[in-house]
Amino acid sequence: MDGLDGNAIAGLLSDVFGAEMTTATGTCATCGAGGPLAETVVFLRAPGTVVRCRTCSGVMMVFVTVRETTCVDLRGLSNLGT
Ligand SMILES: [Zn+2]
């Protein structure tokens, strides 16, 4: 798999959450691993962006932008903190 890291979506994250999020800690709902969002594995697949856990490859976040509205699915995150 050929993914980017969370820094690739720093702009998207700050648009969605209104804050600098690459240093925020996300906890994977699948395996419980936690770490900075900058260390997640990111796949940019228009129209969606998929953020996966670096430990288990579980999907942590999905962003889909349609007509300038971004829908966010955070079901793969058990915790998100700064
Ligand atoms: Zn995981």
Q: What is the pLDDT along the chain (82 residues), one digit of tens a residue?
A: 579 999 999 999 999 999 999 999 999 999 999 999 999 999 998 779 999 999 999 999 999 988 888 999 999 999 999 7
Q: How far apart are the CA of 42 and the centre of ligand 1, in A? A: 13
Q: How far apart are the CA of 27 and the centre of ligand 1, in A? A: 8
> Count of domains in the chain?
1
Number of continuous H segments (helices) and E segments (strands) in the chain: 1, 8
Compute φ and ψ for 79, nearest 5 degrees: -155, 145
Q: Which residue range(s) make up the domain with 34?
A: 4-81
Which pTM value belongs to this model?
0.91
What does DSSP say about strands 69-73 and 34-36: parallel, antiparallel, or unpaired?
unpaired
